[in-house]
Amino acid sequence: MDIVVLAGGLSTERDVSFVTGSMVAKALRENGHRVILLDVFMGYGEEEQSIDGLFDRSLEVSLTVDHVPEQAPDLEKVKASRKDQSDCFFGPNVIALCRQADIVFMALHGENGENGKIQAAFDLFGIKYTGTDYLSSAIAMNKEMAKSFFIANQIPTPHGISMRRENRQDDLGKLPVQLPCIVKPCCGGSSIGVTIVRDEKEFKAALDEGFRWEDELLIEEFIQGREFSVGVMEGKALPIIEIAPIEGFYDYKNKYKAGSAVETCPAVLPKEVTERMQHYAEQVAKVIGLTTYSRIDFLTNENNDIFCLEANTLPGMTPTSLLPQEAAVVGIDFNELCQKIIDLSLKKYSK
């Protein structure tokens, strides 16, 4: 098949997306496909042009990527570096290339990748893509909205409130939140802009940091305990993986720097807790409408009470990513996983 692996974009997870895309592209080539790794924002070339025959020289056309920097990208610099300086999100020739492909592997993370906008555009253009649809993507991306789905379906989740920039309240005493708490962007990912607040003096700085990235924040009770993630493929939960950072919490650096966290799969948990967490993961995918594959994040406290944090519609596929580790436990290697995602995604177009 001719496949475009779409990465990059303008989210804070731009650099992570490139590494996901690079690994996926390599795997799909090894599986016998002709693959172009493409930056959705930069596109191919400096202007719209004939793209006939590009899949014949896919390696020459593709991006090359080596690692994830420890800091989030400067998106203003990224915008300034685009040669055509168009106000269109899609770079030159992106839509035309994606229309030529048999399917687009969505290796995007964060805004305009996981929020459903690109999926909706592709639906209108008749472009086939991997992963879930635009509506479920949009619901999962907004942590406040996803939390309302959890609550409505008796899926336990930390107590929290949202705060918009125009209604900012720096006085923690006037909010229905107790310390310690977590302040995080409502639609962000990779723990960018996330702060653990342990006293009132830290709250204002946490809001400042959060509002650097978005206009809406989520403020949740802090759950002291263990962190887990559960992949879901075609509605069925994979083995649970536990993530234990060596230092601090599971922030941007610890997620993408090899050796920064100890990851154990299958997680060591009582059988009853394992089954309950996997059940909740499957329920999250069902109630939000997530198809093909997803990854659901959880915490447990000292009593093994379970708290659902969020759903990820395009889980990372980097060297340290969680979903590939979970799939490996049930005998699915990385190349097989990439192919399985393609095959499952194509099913929705054959109905």
User: How long, in residues, is the chain?
Assistant: 351
The mean-pLDDT minimum among 33-37, 226-230, 315-319 falls in: 315-319
Q: What integer pLDDT is reported at residue 302 of this predicted model?
A: 94
**Any alpha helices (H) in 31-162, and if so which ranges?**
58-61, 75-81, 94-100, 117-125, 134-141, 143-152
Assess whether pLDDT exceeds 70 at residue 334: yes
HSE-up of residue 108 (Cα within 13 Å, Cβ side)? 28
Q: What integer pLDDT is reported at residue 190 of this predicted model?
A: 54
E runs forming strands in 154-292:
160-164, 181-185, 195-197, 216-221, 226-233, 236-245, 261-264
Q: What are phi and psi of 58, to 5 degrees?
A: -60, -35
Cα 104 to Cα 2: distance, rounded to the nearest angstrom: 9
> Pick from 79, 16, 64: which is nearest to 312 by CA?
16
Give 254's pLDDT tier (boundaries 50, 70, 90).
Answer: very low
Query: What does the pLDDT look like over 128-170, one tens digit per residue?
Result: 999 999 999 999 999 999 999 999 999 999 999 999 999 999 8
The amino acid that residue 203 corresponds to is F
Global pTM reads 0.89
Query: What does the pLDDT look like over 6-38, one tens digit per residue?
Result: 999 988 888 889 999 999 999 999 999 999 999
Average pLDDT score over residue span 35-58: 91
Q: What integer pLDDT is reported at residue 247 of this predicted model?
A: 61
Q: Among residues of the chain, what percentage have pLDDT more than 70?
A: 94
The four Cα atoms 183, 190, 61, 57 give a dihedral, to 10 degrees, of: -140
Q: What integer pLDDT is reported at residue 73 of this predicted model?
A: 82
The kind and range of the H/E element at 105 are: strand 103-106
Q: What integer pLDDT is reported at residue 320 of this predicted model?
A: 75
Cα 250 to Cα 247: distance, rounded to the nearest angstrom: 9
Q: Is 54 exposed, middle or buried (0-12, 13-18, 19+ CB in 10 A)?
A: buried
Name the more confident of 238 and 85.
Answer: 238
Average pLDDT score over residue span 302-321: 91
Mean pLDDT, the chain, whole residue set: 90
Name the more confident of 45 and 313.
Answer: 313
CB atoms within 10 A of CB 350: 5
Average pLDDT score over residue span 238-255: 71
Cα 136 to Cα 145: distance, rounded to the nearest angstrom: 11
Assess whether pLDDT exceeds 70 at residue 189: no
Q: Is 100 exposed, middle or buried (0-12, 13-18, 19+ CB in 10 A)?
A: middle
